Structure 1
Amino acid sequence: MSPITLGAVAANFGRDLDRSLAKVIGIMEAARRDGVDLLVFPDAALGGYIGDLVDPDTTELPPALDPHGPEIAAVIAAAGPMTVCVGYAEAADAYRYNSAICVTGDGILGTHRKVHQPIGESLAYAAGDAFRAFDTPVGRLGMLIDYDKTFPESARTLALDGAVTIAALSAWPASVTDRASRLPADRQSRLFDLYDAARAAENQVVVVSANHTGVMGSLRFLGQAKIVGPGGEVLATTRSKGGLASVAMDIDAEIARARRTLSHLTERRSATYDLERGPTVTS
């Protein structure tokens, strides 16, 4: 694969669906002009996130959208040749999911419903039940939403399914129980960066991590959008401010270089740590 340009968005997206859709499309148009090939938006970019993790107001939830409805169609129309991942609340039958969708101008490439739910999020959303990679014009890709990336098995499942890039879409706030006076000093700020680097390094893949900025209800979001290389190195970051973290790279070449001496996926000895079977005890 020849070099491509990866972009991760840090921005504030509120509850007003028309305004957030216009903002998404505006950022997409600017990114296309700048030659971005893969653009990753935060979780819940279309219509905003919930305002409280402990006790979300279920009367004031983000608008639930049909993935085949007009809002996603507008994102597809604006994407052109660019691959775009964006988060939204998905309406499916009688359920609402915290979801991500990946598109180009040709249509939908892949979807993901957030599997792992922190604290009270289950009051607002149903949980997804799978991690699957899919093919895109920029290579095989998988998506994680927020808390999903806390669990190593999530990214590992995508990597074993052939993903060379993981799009991590987040609405990740500062600590809700012990918030620091400065965002960079907050323990969730440290963990957010740690998980991005660890998931990339342990699987030797590229992580494109997007996040909200600003405030929604009681939540203050961290920003810190970034591109992480397959050795766990941060190649570009917005830090706590809004903006676009971007970098041009040959993903296949970088992954081949990372795996040249130590190949984590092929050198696994999974029979010794089968988590479903339990630990092996020897006398």
Structure 2
Amino acid sequence: MTTVTLGALAAHFGRDVERGVSKAVGIVEAAARDGVQLLVFPDASIGGYIGDLRAPDPDELPPALDPDGPELAAVAAAAGDMTVCIGYTEAAGDVRYNTAVCLSGDGILGTHRKVHQPAGESLAYAAGDSFHAFDSPVGRIGMLIDYDKTFPESARTLALDGARIIAALSAWPASVTDRAARLPADRQSRLFDLYDCARAAENQVFVVSSNLTGVTGSLRFLGQAKVVGPGGDILSTTRSKGGLAKADVDVDAEIARARRVLNHLAELRPDTYHADESIGKG
């Protein structure tokens, strides 16, 4: 039996890059003392997220950073033997991406550029175009960035590529059109939890889901960081508060148990998954 400690963070990060890096390093060091082996930060932890989904202010966009720059290097140095996933705005020439990296003291292990873009996010970022799993000290991992997890195909692609753990990094706000007085009652609060649990249960994998807290511009973020097991059960959660959701799990044993009778990936029927063009025609 090999147990690993998974951690999902809910915290506020703003525009100040230097402060964000310092805060991230402090959190990594504290998590290491706590025995965390995989730590998943929110999307946009370094430099913050856009302040308006519908019409991002071009003068108030998060700073775009070089993936080989000192910011990620500082987090990697703090990580040491720990595996850390963290989000930032990536500068790729003249193009900006909403990006997640997975790193350790050995450097960057994997990168994901957000594929699915809600509302006006395309005005601030270019879109990524792929989903890939990669090997890490805690096993094979895949990453999603907030809206990506709305689409079952995203997590399924990672699971088919061998991911045993999906790190879902989010900057997920309360509803911008029908906001509830209390965050737990917000429509997006319900959907955020639903997607985390569904993606884990569909693919019989672990989902380590982080999220921002606090306010940026017109957006109020939900928190609700959590670790979800391969049966879709929430093992640990911060609810709407900041903090670290932790769970000690035997990844291989729990996935094997979940797939013992019903193995969703083995029982797929991709030959049947296509629309019938005759449906809906009179």
TM-score, reference length from structure 2: 0.98
Residues of 1 paired with 2:93 and 2:264: CA distance? Answer: 40
Counterpart residue type for residue 211 of structure 2: N
Check conservation: 1:10, 1:242, Cα contact below 8 A.
yes
Alpha-carbon offset, residue 93 of structure 1: 1.4
Aligned to 1:217: 217
Residues of 1 paired with 2:94 and 2:215: CA distance? Answer: 29
Of residues 257, 276, 281 in structure 2, which corresponds to 1:279? 276
**SS of structure 2 residue aligned to 1:173:** coil
Alignment partner of 1:139 is 2:136:
no
Residues of 2 paired with 1:279 and 1:48: CA distance? Answer: 43
Deviations 1:134-167 (CA, angstroms, capped at 9, x unpaired) = 0000000000001000000000000000000000
Counterpart residue type for residue 195 of structure 1: Y
Residues of 2 paired with 1:48 and 1:121: CA distance? Answer: 14
Aligned to 2:204: 204
Residues of 2 paired with 1:5 and 1:183: CA distance? Answer: 28
Identity of aligned residues (%): 76
Residues of 2 paired with 1:124 and 1:269: CA distance? Answer: 38
Alpha-carbon offset, residue 279 of structure 1: 2.8
Residues of 2 paired with 1:130 and 1:94: CA distance? Answer: 20
Gap regions ≥5 residues in structure 1 = none
Check conservation: 1:112, 1:144, Cα contact below 8 A.
yes
Residues of 2 paired with 1:2 and 1:65: CA distance? Answer: 37
Deviations 1:97-131 (CA, angstroms, capped at 9, x unpaired) = 00000001011100000000000000000000000
Counterpart residue type for residue 178 of structure 1: D
Stretches (4+) displaced over 3 A: none
For structure 1, which segment, 19-28 or 235-244, has the greater mean C-alpha deviation from structure 2 after superposition? 19-28
Residues of 1 paired with 2:79 and 2:277: CA distance? Answer: 50
Check conservation: 1:168, 1:210, Cα contact below 8 A.
yes
Aligned to 1:90: 90
Alpha-carbon offset, residue 280 of structure 1: 7.6
Alpha-carbon offset, residue 94 of structure 1: 1.3
Alignment partner of 1:269 is 2:266:
no
**Superposed, which structure 2 residues align to 1:237-248 within 5 Å?**
237-248=237-248
Aligned to 2:165: 165
Deviations 1:41-87 (CA, angstroms, capped at 9, x unpaired) = 00000010000000000111111011111101101100000000000
**SS of structure 2 residue aligned to 1:64:** coil
Residues of 2 paired with 1:224 and 1:239: CA distance? Answer: 4
Counterpart residue type for residue 144 of structure 1: L
Residues of 2 paired with 1:134 and 1:29: CA distance? Answer: 24
Residues of 2 paired with 1:117 and 1:92: CA distance? Answer: 18
Residues of 2 paired with 1:244 and 1:127: CA distance? Answer: 29
Check conservation: 1:141, 1:166, Cα contact below 8 A.
yes
Check conservation: 1:82, 1:105, Cα contact below 8 A.
yes
Residues of 2 paired with 1:160 and 1:18: CA distance? Answer: 38
Residues of 1 paired with 2:240 and 2:26: CA distance? Answer: 21
Gap regions ≥5 residues in structure 2 = none
Aligned to 1:12: 12
Check conservation: 1:272, 1:280, Cα contact below 8 A.
no
Residues of 2 paired with 1:106 and 1:19: CA distance? Answer: 24
Residues of 2 paired with 1:138 and 1:280: CA distance? Answer: 44
**Superposed, which structure 2 residues align to 1:112-127 within 5 Å?**
112-127=112-127
Counterpart residue type for residue 279 of structure 1: D
**SS of structure 2 residue aligned to 1:268:** coil
Count of paired positions: 279
Residues of 1 paired with 2:3 and 2:145: CA distance? Answer: 26
Residues of 2 paired with 1:7 and 1:63: CA distance? Answer: 27
Counterpart residue type for residue 154 of structure 1: S
Alpha-carbon offset, residue 281 of structure 1: 6.4
Residues of 1 paired with 2:112 and 2:69: CA distance? Answer: 17
Residues of 2 paired with 1:212 and 1:167: CA distance? Answer: 14
